Amino acid sequence: MNKKIIAIAAIAVLSGLAAVSCGKDVGDDSEVSVALPKVTVTQDEKATTQSGETTKANSKTTAVVVSGSGENSSKEEDTTKNTETTAAEDGETKTDGDTNANTGGDEPQVVETPTEQQTEAPAAQSLNKTVFGINDLSQAITSVISNPDIPETVSACIPKGDEGGTVYRYKYGSDLSFDCYSSGGVKCIANIYIYSSNYSLDSGITVGSSKDSVISAYGEPTNSGSYLLYSFGDKELYFGLNGDTVSEIQINYV
């Protein structure tokens, strides 16, 4: 008899469970109280970035289970999922220490442009004096012109020098020039040509002076006519004339 009663009670319990599972109400005098599983999710932290940051999701789940004594007991399970992802978009660096992620790991190359060494231009020639006399003959050309330009080689008759009468002509502008001979590698003055009033003789005579002024300064010339000539041993002064006015002055070796 007791076994039948127990079997009937068991069937009743199973029926109650079936009724609950189908959504039916449970009576007050039922010995079993069944509640649907209840899930509670709380999000403690959720952060998502697109480049180089970590996404973390912490969830908490509460599950309600059935107790055979009619009482509800709950068991909490904490599930923490830590997911670290790294997203790198095109052209971005993935990690802090990887500074060359987009260049295949090669160190950046610094190319230095060689600096061209500038050479100083040669100093321009300059004139040391503007007043000349017969004593300037046989002097080195550098005593008259500093940093002289490369001379022209001309044909002239100069009875001096160790290069067979070769003549080197140095020009200073268009109104002053010097013919030189070589003596021991030094270019020495043999002829001086003056074509401008910018330069003069030590007597004060210059281009533009009168014929009478020349005669007053040097006396009667050795030769006269279209020019005036004065001899001083192996040296001479030559004055070209344009009418009665000096147009050219030469200081020469004879």
pTM over the 0.85 mark: no
Answer whether 203's CB lies under 8 Å from 217's CB. Answer: yes
CB 167 within 8 A of CB 155: yes
- Say if domain 126-253 classifies as CATH 3.30.420.40: no
Question: Would you kindly state where each structural domain of the chain is located, as residue ranges?
Answer: 33-87, 126-253
Query: To which H or E segment does residue 181 belong?
Result: strand 176-183
pLDDT in tens, the chain (254 residues): 455 545 455 455 444 444 444 444 444 444 444 444 444 444 444 434 444 444 343 444 334 343 444 444 444 444 444 444 444 444 444 444 444 444 455 666 666 666 666 677 778 999 999 999 999 999 999 999 999 999 999 877 777 888 877 899 999 999 999 999 999 999 999 999 999 999 999 999 999 999 999 999 999 999 888 999 999 999 999 999 999 999 999 999 98
